[in-house]
Amino acid sequence: MKVKVKNLGVLKQAEFSLGDLTIICGGNNTGKTYATYALFGFLLLWEETFSIEISDQEIDTLLDKGTITINLLEYLDRINTIIAKACENYTELLPKVFASSEDYFQTTEFRIELDVNDNKLDQGHKQSISTATTELFFISKNAEDTDLIVNLLSEDKNIGLPKKVIKKIISDAIKEIVFSPFLPRPFIASAERTGTAIFRKELNFARNRLLEEISQTDKDINPLELLSKGYDDYALPIKSNVEFTRKIESIAKRKSFILNEYPELIKDFTDIIGGSYLVTSTDELYYVPKGKKIRLSMDESSSAVRSLLDIGFYIKHQAQKGDLLIIDEPELNLHPENQRRVARLLARLVNLGIKIFITTHSDYIIKELNTLIMLNKDKSYLKEIAEKEGYKEEEFLTTNQVKVYVAERTLVKLDGHKKRTRCHTIIEANITPDLGIEVPSFDTAIETMNRIQEAIIWGEE
């Protein structure tokens, strides 16, 4: 999937493609967060923005004859047109995604391009639609077919559902089959995640108090609308973090495929935070340091423990293959050694089928990922180094898996302009099997510090 933006925050014009591991580096205020939030918002809201038209005639045929057949290839053939319209619809939602004024997005363009060559519509689908007492529809598609079959199960053709509801049910099924293989389910850990970990109790208390007040008033109030307005001042990724943190007690009751099949990865995560998270039977959340008989609340725990809370619960309880895990600054509050270990953990997740998207200022993370790329060659001395230093084969990466971009202010030839203009954009970084990822901005800062320290030490000679 390729993302193209124009006039998005400080980004004048930029494009980037998603790899198995996608990294955006760069200085402060260069557009990394704008690109990240816009991508997350689209992946979270895409079903609302895609318009799949079902005609009145098809619904009439379904209710009259009891069945209709929809050729899904027609939607695949029109995928570019459907996506273009979806991007227009999504662009109108950007003020809500960023919790910002509409004025900031008057000239913004957001587009995505999907590689549809590999979609053979080989995903099967079975779905029953029913009321509490009656089965209404059965929607199905065999894995080897390209037709979607909708059957009316009720003998009463006057089933009591408006046509627009029936259209939405069928439309949602088409979206799921045709488009979901291209659009991963997103989970984001924003840079504000440390704060949500501390104030989760207060968030729950405030919401419960609000619900109590609503129940005691005689006014006609929509509780869901009122509660959603409480977060209108926050960008969508932050809202998502708040909601995830609020629901941790129920999330902790689930098991991800990683917890079931790869418990050693959970152990590695436990080693990084130096303990484990505990949700009690009374829905209290604690951090338990390894080897100690104490429980620490989130405000008593280290900032590193809080910054990894969402990521840890996602990996252990919610992760699914094909997901996109987005982490804004995974190095947040971490010692350099733990930054290296997080880089290796992310590489393992990539190799388990979870796509990773990060923004980072960390040279330690980039260099550790470089190591995982450079060690991935069939040479005896590299195998000796890997064994000596404790690297595992399941952590190794190939250059084909990784996409790296640098957000910076540089000379760019804008669309429709003959001359190049200096503006903020995103430039793809070079990656080679022998040298790994090349990020000049990190190298320049390190070289400058080394030069100054050498001058201090050797200046008198």
**62-78 tens-digit pLDDT:** 988 999 999 998 888 88
Q: 17-26, 315-324, 416-425: which has the minimum mean pLDDT?
A: 416-425
* pLDDT beyond 50 at 205: no
Instruction: Give the per-residue pLDDT at 336.
Output: 95
Q: Hey, what are 384's tokens?
A: 């000796």
Task: Between 459 and 172, name the one with better pLDDT.
Answer: 172
Residues 424/12, Cβ–Cβ less than 8 Å: yes
Please tell me the distance from the alpha carbon of residue 88 to that of residue 312, in angstroms, as a whole number.
Answer: 35
Please tell me the distance from the alpha carbon of residue 83 to that of residue 112, in angstroms, as a whole number.
Answer: 7
Instruction: Give the per-residue pLDDT at 199.
Output: 66
Instruction: Give the per-residue pLDDT at 153.
Output: 87
Residues 300/289, Cβ–Cβ less than 8 Å: no
234-246 pLDDT, tens digit each: 899 998 988 898 8
* pLDDT beyond 60 at 448: yes
Query: What average pLDDT does the segment 80-96 reach?
Result: 94
3-state SS track over 352-390: CCCEEEEEECCHHHHHHHHHHHHCCCCCHHHHHHHHHHC
Query: What average pLDDT does the segment 361-388 reach?
Result: 95
406-445 pLDDT, tens digit each: 999 888 878 767 788 888 999 999 999 998 888 876 777 7
247-286 pLDDT, tens digit each: 888 999 999 999 999 999 999 999 999 999 999 888 889 9
Strands lying side by side in the sheet with 125-130: 67-71, 147-152, 135-141, 125-130
Residue 207: pLDDT band with limits 50, 70, 90:
low
Q: 26-30, 94-98, 217-221, 376-380: which has the minimum mean pLDDT?
A: 217-221
Residue of 8, 39, 41, 11 whose CA lies nearest to 26: 11
Could you tell me what percent of the chain has a pLDDT over 70?
90
294-309 pLDDT, tens digit each: 999 988 999 999 999 9
128-180 pLDDT, tens digit each: 988 777 888 899 999 888 999 999 987 766 767 788 889 999 999 999 999 98
User: What is 1-49+77-117+323-461's CATH topology?
Assistant: Rossmann fold (3.40.50)
* pLDDT beyond 90 at 359: yes
Q: Where are the domains of the chain?
A: 1-49+77-117+323-461, 51-72+121-178, 192-319
Q: What are phi and psi of 86, to 5 degrees?
A: -60, -40
Task: Between 198 and 431, name the one with better pLDDT.
Answer: 431
Q: Hey, what are 80's tokens?
A: 């570019």
Instruction: Give the per-residue pLDDT at 266.
Output: 96
* pLDDT beyond 60 at 217: no
Q: Hey, what are 143's tokens?
A: 């894995």
